């Protein structure tokens, strides 16, 4: 479970990243495709990036719910991991996307990123892995 202090640090990092980096969609997917070029063809029909933007928006919403009330995120993450099985996206690759988001947020935060933020994100990613693997 993510505690309130960790949730606040994750939220703060998202706010800073948004202020400094704006729309992170391009940066997240550039990082993802650099690490896993085999995933880029899965988005061949997404010529204008709308699908990528929608997916990232849902990921941010899910993260905020996951570190908060958990009204739906834990079920959504598990369900989407299963859905992505149908796209031949293995669970470890699905989990990699959250790590890619965290790395992109860290980069966008620049000098405002702290060791405490890093630890909070690490705990979040470990918690998310539980729902992805289930």
Residue-wise pLDDT for 66-76, tens only, equals: 999 999 998 99
Query: pLDDT by residue (tens digit) across 12-24?
Result: 999 999 999 999 9
Lowest-pLDDT choice from 47-56, 85-94, 96-105, 107-116: 85-94
**Phi-psi region for residue 64, left (φ > 0), alpha (ψ -120 to 50) or beta?**
alpha
Question: What pLDDT, on a 0 to 100 scale, did the predictor assign at position 1?
Answer: 79
Question: What pLDDT, on a 0 to 100 scale, did the predictor assign at position 131?
Answer: 83
Domains for the chain: give ranges and CATH numbers: 4-133 (1.10.490.10)
How many Å apart are CA 96 and CA 6, to the nearest integer? 21
How many Å apart are CA 63 and CA 133, to the nearest integer? 17
- The pTM of the full predicted model, rounded to 2 decimals, is 0.94
């Amino acid at each position: 479970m993510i505690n309130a202090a960790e949730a606040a640090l994750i939220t703060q990092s998202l706010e800073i990243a948004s202020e400094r980096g704006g729309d992170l969609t391009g940066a997240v997917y550039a990082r993802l495709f650099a690490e896993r070029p085999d995933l880029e063809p899965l988005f061949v029909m997404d010529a204008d990036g709308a699908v990528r933007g929608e997916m990232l928006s849902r990921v941010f919403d899910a993260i905020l719910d996951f570190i908060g009330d958990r009204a739906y995120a834990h079920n959504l993450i598990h369900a989407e991991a299963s859905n992505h099985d149908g796209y031949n996206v293995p669970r470890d690759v699905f989990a990699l996307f959250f790590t890619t988001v965290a790395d992109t947020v860290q980069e966008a935060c620049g000098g405002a990123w702290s060791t405490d933020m890093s630890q909070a994100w690490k705990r979040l990613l470990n918690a998310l892995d539980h729902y992805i693997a289930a």
